[in-house]
Amino acid sequence: MSALLLARIQFAFTIGFHFLFPAMTLGTTLIILISETLFLTKKDEVYKKITDFLVKLLGLIFVIGAATGIVMEFSFGTNWSGYSRAVGDVFGPILAAEGVIAFFLESVFIGVLIFARNKVSPKVYWLSALLVFLGGHLSAFWIVVANSWMQTPAGYAINEAGKIVLTSFTDAVFNPSTIIRFCHTVMASWMTCAIILAGIAGYYVRKGLHGQTARTMLKISIILFAVTPLLQLATGHIHAIEVINMQPEKAAAFEGHFNTAKGVTLYAVGFVDEQNEKTYGIYAPKGLSFLYNFDWNSEIKGLKDFPKENWPPVNFVFQAYHIMAGIGILSIALGLLGAYLLWTKKIYENKLYLFILPFLIPLPHIAHETGWIAAEVGRQPWIIYKLMKTADAASVVVTAGEIAFSLIIFCLIYLLLAVMFIKLFVKIIKKGPAV
């Protein structure tokens, strides 16, 4: 295998593994903030127990996120030094701002959340929960800025030496895809944690464990589970329109759409025959055109309008995108069903629904992994859309053998982390909130 391909595999593997953890962190900090706010206002010990329980999970999630996150910051230099040399002017300040403005806040106050329940007043503790929530979301904001700039670069110019220089930091930060990508990413994370907590609480309630604490956890999580997938549908819709406008090749690959046409179909499931440039599957006629601007006959560009060497791998992107969307739709249905059961107060006795809940926990993870695969592989062959190719970004001095070596070690270490994480996560859940 070439050094380039190995570097891509290593980046995909390490970022894919890493993302699982910050995705869980954000939603957890939201639910902690909710339960701690309720504790401060209602003075009900149940909320304190929920906070304390979630803080234990957060400690475990956060540490793996932090440990695997530093790998990502190093990787731009270690594996993508061509990229680093080219984009230091724009990309560097985004990473540095993330450290100064966000990581410190999150990392310093998470120490208070985990270790200082009995050392600070309830108000300072609540403030720490708020600051960890803010720090986490600011971290997400800055890294989404970094990614969005690679998708829809703005705020730069190319000077006479052919170098990318910064012209407007505001334009670079608020490039055309930042805000919507941030909303879509954060909502994915909230949804993930709504489903995780619903799974845990559902298990407790079905087994008759932890009484009122478990019921309250279930209530909070089901409300979030009903709301977040719907909001995610909205952000997903706006994001898809942004992609059609800004990165039409990628949008066309999402739907396996080859020929520019009016009244373009929307596939539920399908398969792209890349050889014959045809897509098969179950579809809604004119669906994509309708969703694009609520006009059944609007025109959407197909892949054939673009040079073939700039196409991403179409079927791969198509499948990833559709797995994500399918899980999104399934989540909406199951979330609304939960809300209905909660509204009619039947949820605590509905053994079947409670039984299903824990099995949903992997779904949001699969959805955000496939969503990112669609977004990132869909951008290929570009590392910065229409500005720099991935092939020109890799480190020139790092050999295939060196990357193969580090990749094998990463696989072994991350396997160990995954096994330990699941083991200890389950252990904390089995121990449950304090009585």
Partner 1 sequence: MENIQNFQILWFVLILILFIGYSLLDGFDLGIGALLPLIGKTKEEKDILINSIGPIWDGNEVWLITGGGALFAAFPHAYATAFSGFYLAMMLVLFALIFRAVSIEFRSHDDARAGIWEKAFFAGSALAALLFGVVLGNVVYGVPLDNKMEFTGNFFTLLRPVPLLFGVTGFAAILLQGASYAVMKTEGELQERSFRAVGILTWVNFITAITYFLTIAFTFQDITSNWLFYVAILCTLLWLAEILFSIKKKHDSAPFWESSCSFIGLWLAVAAVHFPNLIKASNDQNLSITIYNSSTGLQTLKLMSVIALIGMPVVVAYTIFVYRIFKGKTKASDHY
Contacting partner 1 within 167-186 (CB under 8 A): 167, 169
Q: Which residues pair with 270 in a beta bridge?
A: 281
Measured from the CB of residue 382, what is the shortest distance to partner 1 in angstroms? 20
Distance between CA 288 and CA 284 in Å, rounded? Answer: 8
**Are the C-beta atoms of 140 and 185 separated by less than 8 Å?**
yes
**Does 89 engage in binding with partner 1 (CB under 8 A)?**
yes
Other beta carbons less than 10 A from residue 149's beta carbon = 25
In angstroms, what is the minimal distance from the CB of 365 to partner 1? 19
Binding mask 101-140 for partner 1 (x = CB under 8 A): x-xxx-xxxxxx-xxxx-xx--------------------
Give the SS3 label for residue 393.
Answer: coil
Q: Encoding tokens for residue 60?
A: 């475990």
Q: How far is the CB of 138 from partner 1 (least distance, A)?
A: 12
Residues 230 and 332 sit within 8 Å (Cβ to Cβ): yes
Residues 6+ apart with CB under 8 A from 11: 75, 79, 80
Nearer to partner 1, 270 or 432 (CB): 432
The piece of 86-94, 238-246, 283-291, 349-357 that touches partner 1 (CB under 8 A) is: 86-94
Nearest approach, Cβ of residue 415 and partner 1 (Å): 13
Least distance in angstroms from the C-beta of 358 to partner 1: 20
Candidates 90-98, 255-263, 359-367, 370-378 — which segment interacts with partner 1 by CB under 8 A? Answer: 90-98
Q: State phi, psi for 395 to the nearest 5 degrees.
A: -65, 135
For residue 107, the minimal CB distance to partner 1 (Å) is 4
Task: Match 């002017």 to its residue by tokens.
Answer: 89
102 vs 272, which CB is nearer to partner 1? 102
Taking CB under 8 A as the rule, which mask of x and - marks residues 407-426 in contact with partner 1? --x---x---x--x--xx--
- Say if residues 95 and 73 touch (Cβ distance below 8 Å): yes
432 forms part of the interface with partner 1 (CB under 8 A)? no
CB of 21 to partner 1, least distance (A): 11
Smallest distance, Å, CB 166 to partner 1? 5
Compute the chain's Rg from CA coordinates: 23
Footprint on residues 341-360 left by partner 1 (CB under 8 A)? none
Chain positions 48 to 67 lying near partner 1, rule: CB under 8 A, are: 52, 55-56, 59-60, 62-64, 66-67
The DSSP element (H or E) to which 178 belongs, if any, is helix 178-207
For residue 15, state whether it binds partner 1 (rule: CB under 8 A).
Answer: no
Which segments of 43-160 does DSSP mark as H helices, in order? 45-78, 81-97, 104-115, 122-151
88 binds partner 1 (CB under 8 A): yes
405 binds partner 1 (CB under 8 A): yes
Question: Rounded CA gap, 220 and 205, in Å?
Answer: 14
**CB-side exposure of 39: number of CA atoms within 13 Å?**
22
Site residues for partner 1, 192-211, by CB under 8 A, read none
Q: Which two tokens stand for residue 170?
A: 């505001």
Query: Out of 1, 5, 70, 418, which residue is the one contacting partner 1 (CB under 8 A)?
Result: 70
Identify residues 143-162 at the interface with partner 1 (CB under 8 A): 159
Tell me the one-letter amino acid at 185: T
List 4, 231, 402, 432, residue binding partner 1 (CB under 8 A)? 402
The DSSP string of 245-286 is HH-HHHHHHHTT--S-EES--EEEEEEEETTTTEEEEEEETT
Asked if residue 68 binds partner 1 (CB under 8 A), the reply is yes
Within 370-399, the residues that bind partner 1 by CB under 8 A are: 395-398
